[in-house]
């Protein structure tokens, strides 16, 4: 199979698309469980479609361009997981084709073929959640564009003003997924070490980076939401997080194999003496990419394989050399088939095998999946507010108030001695009153003491922790 993709022919683009379709086809027959982050992204788009302002009327730490995409998706497709996954697959195939294009066009390897593209397709399909339309997936597209622009500068005698384009791509990536801001340092170091860029060109790249961000800041400033933008997006990105060790084990258990292949390819790359100086510099830039990606882990809002998509390009890059530099081609074929089979197994076992048959339990992402039957059957297609971490209560209901993200909402709900927090809660209930309040942290009794008017408007129900709006 590997030898088939070593042929450099335009029809191989169709082969990449066919492979991706075959990998994804079972998930259109048997749709995987919806993940809590997926639902959260859809709800943000839904609220924005109703005219609510991001960060001011919808408390969430989603980056603005990602939120705009989910808004557009909601306007066209509504709350459709299949539509989100279809668009994600289109993004994946475009990334794979572009990655293969720059590999061949910029002569990154000793041969021109479609091995980079097929490895990219396989690696990004290591886990079922990687094919969701996540912010990091969309942002990685522009990091790839930035890499293509960067190595294009290295093929020329001097750096050109196209470095503005480099900064622009990195800025757009940041506006899709905030931890990508670290990749400006990746670009700065790469230009400084490997392109001979002078101060003017570094400044031009910086201006290209700042320009879209400045426009975004101005947009929220003129909408009287700059403080909300700063508090809910910028400040929340640097808050201390406590990650679950099981989440890391799930990522290692799922992606450990491709990290191993990438590591072997890295060792084989730097043990091969026949690369030209330009190719060696491209490899070193990929190493800096990996360093930036590792640092970005500390800024991730949660831990799951989908968050590690930013590692896929360098892993695929070094894995190409692992297969291509192997002297025994028959061994390379066998190892490629082993990698292909292993990826298929990890891809499908999390969704299609029962717990008793699944080898890697941690890759099933049970902690991120929507839970069934969390609410009484009467609470369906209702306007609700969930006080506490959402585990799927919004799946068949409609969110109200600005408190969509519990990590941001808890600032008000856990500071009821603050006059400002109490007023914020009252204003949100008044502007968009929920029919039901699902109190998972037992905080409504304290709210009723602070706000007697809300106590008059809501009554307890037969279900513990659930309050219903009085019918006027």
Quick: pLDDT tens for 143-175: 999 999 998 887 665 556 688 999 999 999 999
pLDDT band at residue 99 under the 50/70/90 scheme: very high
Give the containing element (helix H, strand E) for 155: none
What are the Cα distances from residue 451, in Å, to 149, 344, 439?
57, 55, 16
Average the pLDDT over 13-24 and give the result: 90
- What's the N-to-C CA distance of the chain in angstroms? 69
Q: Phi first, then psi: what are they for 252, rounded to 5°?
A: -65, -40
What are the Cα distances from residue 441, in Å, to 60, 397, 406?
20, 20, 11
Helices 329-352, 312-324: axis angle to 10 degrees equals: 150
H-assigned helices in 32-182: 36-49, 64-77, 81-105, 115-124, 135-154, 163-176
Average the pLDDT over 438-446 and give the result: 91
Q: Name the pairing type of β-strands 436-439 and 466-469.
A: antiparallel
SS3 content of the chain, % helix, strand, coil (to 5): 65, 5, 30
Quick one: residue 377, left, alpha or beta (phi over 0 = left, psi -120 to 50 = alpha)?
Answer: alpha
- The DSSP code for 231 is I
Q: What pLDDT does 158 receive?
A: 54
> Which residue, among 405, 415, 421, 386, has the nearest Cα to 55 in the 3D structure?
405
Higher pLDDT, 302 or 94: 94
Query: What is the spatial distance between Cα 238 and Cα 218, in angstroms, rounded to a whole number?
Result: 22
What are the Cα distances from residue 444, in Å, to 12, 141, 271, 364, 394?
60, 44, 64, 34, 19
Q: What is the pTM of this model?
A: 0.91
For the ranges 133-147, 246-260, 434-448, the one whose mean pLDDT is highest: 133-147
Q: What pLDDT does 157 receive?
A: 55
**Contact between residue 97 and residue 16 where contact means Cβ atoms under 8 Å apart:** yes
356-386 confidence digits (pLDDT tens): 444 555 556 777 888 776 788 888 899 999 9
Q: What pLDDT does 373 receive?
A: 65
Distance of CA 410 to the CA centre of its chain: 24
Radius of gyration of the chain (CA): 24
The SS3 of residue 304 is: coil
Q: Phi first, then psi: what are they for 376, rounded to 5°?
A: -60, 150
Distance of CA 68 to the CA centre of its chain: 14
> Which residue, among 450, 371, 382, 440, has the nearest Cα to 409 in the 3D structure?
440
pLDDT band at residue 5 under the 50/70/90 scheme: confident
pLDDT band at residue 410 under the 50/70/90 scheme: confident
Higher pLDDT, 153 or 293: 293
pLDDT at 354 over 70: no
Task: Name the β-bridge partners of 384.
Answer: 399, 436
Burial letters for 26-60: b for 16+ Cβ neighbours within 10 Å, e otherwise?
Answer: ebeeeebbbbbbbbbbbbbbbbbeeebbbbbbbbb
Q: Name the pairing type of β-strands 458-460 and 398-399.
A: unpaired
Q: Phi first, then psi: what are they for 201, rounded to 5°?
A: -70, -35
What are the Cα distances from residue 8, in Å, to 12, 107, 121?
7, 13, 17
The SS3 of residue 467 is: strand
Q: What is the DSSP string of 424-455?
A: HHHHHHHHS--SEEEESSS-HHHHHHH-HHHH
> Which residue, among 301, 440, 302, has the nearest Cα to 368 in the 3D structure?
302
């Amino acid at each position: 199979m590997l030898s088939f993709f070593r042929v450099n022919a335009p029809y191989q683009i169709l082969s990449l698309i066919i492979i991706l379709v075959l990998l994804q086809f079972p998930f259109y027959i048997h749709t995987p469980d919806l993940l809590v982050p997926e639902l959260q992204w859809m709800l943000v788009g839904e609220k924005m479609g109703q005219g609510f302002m991001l960060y001011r009327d919808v408390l969430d730490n989603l980056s603005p361009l990602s939120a705009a995409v989910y808004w557009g998706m909601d306007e066209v497709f509504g709350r459709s997981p299949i539509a989100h996954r279809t668009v994600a697959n289109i993004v994946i195939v475009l990334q794979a084709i572009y990655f293969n294009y720059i590999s061949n066009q910029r002569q990154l390897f000793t041969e021109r073929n479609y091995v980079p593209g097929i490895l990219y397709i396989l690696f990004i399909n290591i886990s079922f959640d990687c094919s969701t339309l996540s912010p990091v997936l969309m942002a990685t597209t522009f990091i790839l564009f930035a890499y293509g622009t960067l190595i294009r500068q290295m093929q020329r005698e001097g750096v050109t003003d196209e470095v503005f384009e480099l900064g622009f791509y990195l800025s757009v990536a940041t506006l899709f997924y905030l931890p990508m801001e670290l990749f400006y340092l990746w670009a700065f170091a790469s230009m400084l070490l490997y392109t001979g860029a002078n101060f003017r060109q570094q400044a031009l790249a910086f201006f290209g980076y700042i320009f879209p961000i400045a426009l975004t800041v101005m947009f929220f400033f003129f909408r009287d939401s700059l403080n909300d933008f700063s508090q809910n997006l910028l400040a929340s990105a640097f808050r201390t997080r406590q990650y679950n060790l099981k989440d890391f084990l799930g990522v290692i258990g799922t992606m450990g194999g491709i990290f191993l292949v990438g590591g072997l390819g890295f060792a084989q790359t730097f043990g091969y003496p026949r690369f030209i100086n330009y190719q060696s510099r491209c490899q070193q830039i990929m190493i800096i990419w990996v360093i930036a990606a590792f640092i970005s882990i500390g800024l991730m809002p949660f831990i799951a394989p989908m968050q590690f998509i930013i590692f896929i390009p360098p892993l695929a890059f070094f894995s190409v050399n692992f297969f291509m530099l192997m002297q025994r081609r028959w061994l390379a074929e066998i190892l490629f088939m082993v990698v292909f089979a292993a990826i298929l197994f990890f891809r499908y076992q999390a969704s299609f095998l029962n717990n008793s048959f699944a080898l890697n339990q941690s890759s099933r992402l049970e902690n991120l999946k929507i839970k069934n039957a969390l609410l009484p059957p009467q609470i369906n297609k209702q306007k609700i507010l969930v006080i506490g971490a959402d585990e799927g209560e919004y799946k068949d209901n409609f969110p109200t108030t600005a408190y969509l993200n519990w990590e941001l909402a808890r600032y008000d709900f856990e500071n009821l001695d603050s006059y400002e927090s109490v007023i914020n809660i009252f204003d949100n209930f008044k502007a968009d009153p929920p029919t039901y309040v699902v109190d998972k942290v037992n905080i409504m009794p304290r709210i009723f003491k602070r706000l007697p008017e809300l106590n008059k408007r809501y009554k307890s129900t037969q279900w513990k922790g659930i309050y219903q709006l009085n019918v006027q």
